[in-house]
Structure 1
Amino acid sequence: MKLLKEFLSRYITLSDPQFENLGNSLREMHLQEGDYLLREGNICRTIGFVTQGTLRVLHFDQDGEVTRYFIPKGAIAVLPDSFRYQAPANENIQAVTDCRLWILRYEDLIKMYDQIPMWTRLVQKLLEEVQHQRALGRRLNMQDVRTRLQLFNEEYPGLAQEIPIKTLASFLRISPLELTKIRSEMAQ
């Protein structure tokens, strides 16, 4: 909970009773590597705060899986449009490593608007944070592969060593073999 409180304090100041009230609405969730937090076509009914591990947002196309972006420890796991409008998701959220999250249901989030005056601002900032991750994924894909890998390593320090090479290759939109070759060349 300490990590969550520190994260939220970047956006708003919660009194101890307000944070306790929020804490009473949260539940802890554990995902194993490969488990889905959300599948395409389902409605995103929760917003999660990652306290351990890494998730990814992905979709499937004619060539297989495509990783859009990663959700590391200390970040928010949600598909904003599906959550906000309670509409079917067009992407998946999957655990890349074993994960722990604090989960807040949509219904409980709505109740917080009445209980915490700054809640609207907080939710807006959280969704902006997620949009930043989405934009990063799009921005990276406009670069050549070496630049993408370099920017990935800057944005997600150490993550390349924690996730399967296939997942990183999917994000970079290259084959695992190409990624291995490029890493070797860059190491020289």
Structure 2
Amino acid sequence: MEPLHSYLSRYMTLTNAQFELLSTYLKEVELSPGDYFLREGNVCRTIGFVIEGTLRVLHFDRGDEVTRYFIPQGNIAVLPDSFRYQAPSTENIQAVTHTKLCLLRYEDMNKLFAEIPAWGRLVQKLVDEVQRQRALGRWMTSQPVPLRLNSFREEYPGLMETLPLQAMASYLRLAPSELKSYLQEMSGNQPPLVA
């Protein structure tokens, strides 16, 4: 639970007693690559903290997978509107790699509002971070490919080496073969692009 405690401490200080209370509501689960944490049309009833691995948020556009953003280790997995309003989700959350999560159910989250006075502020900060990830994904698709790749490396350090090419290409809105060519150029295996 230490990774979760460290993550939450970035946004707010919880006392040991408050964190112990939170811990009583948490449940650990593991997902294999391709498993869904949440499917489109279902209600997001849990918020997850990624202890290990990587998830992605995706939707389908005319049968093609479109990755909106990644949720790497040390981040929160939730679709805020579906979770907050207990409404059907318009997107999916899927494991890209073997993933271990700590889960907090919607009902238990609501109990924490009464039990931890500053819980509402913490939740709002977490939602803001998820919204930032969503906005970054939208921004990236409008940028030139080299900038998208550099931004990806900055935002998701180390993921480029661990993610399947197809998932990364889906996020960057490139064909896998096109992404492979750009990656080879960036690694120096081919002459650089002419701007």
Shorter-chain TM-score tier: over 0.9
3-state SS of 1:110 partner: helix
Which residue does 2:80 correspond to in 1? Answer: 80
Structure 2 unaligned residues grouped into runs of 5+: 189-195
One-letter amino acid of the counterpart of residue 24, structure 2: N
The within-5 A match list for 1:64-75 is 64-75=64-75
The residue type equivalent to 2:32 in the other structure is Q
Q: Matched residue pairs, number?
A: 188
Work out the CA distance in 2 between the residues paired with 1:34 and 1:180. Answer: 22
Which residue number in structure 1 is paired with residue 157 of structure 2? Answer: 157
Question: Could you state the TM-score of these two structures normalised by the residue count of structure 2?
Answer: 0.94
Could you tell me the percent identity over the aligned residues? 61
The runs of at least 4 aligned residues of structure 1 exceeding 4 Å deviation read none
Amino acid of the residue matched to residue 21 of structure 1?
A: L
- Secondary structure of the equivalent of 2:102? strand
What value does the CA root-mean-square deviation take over the aligned residues? 0.8
Question: Residue 42 in 1 paired to residue 42 in 2?
Answer: yes
Query: Once the 2 structures are TM-superposed, how far is the Cα of residue 81 of structure 1 from its aligned partner?
Result: 0.5
Q: What are the equivalent positions in structure 2 for 1:146-185 lying under 5 Å apart?
A: 146-185=146-185
Q: Which residue of 1 aligns with 2:124?
A: 124
In 2, the alpha carbon distance for the partners of 1:54 and 1:136 equals 17
Task: Map 1:3-152; keep pairs closer than 5 Å.
Answer: 3-62=3-62, 64-152=64-152
State the one-letter code of the partner of 1:33.
Answer: P
What amino acid is aligned across from residue 96 of structure 2 in structure 1? V
User: 1:15 offset after TM fit, Å?
Assistant: 1.5
Q: TM-score by structure 1 length?
A: 0.98
Structure 2 counterpart of 1:57, one-letter code? V
Secondary structure of 1:122's counterpart equals helix
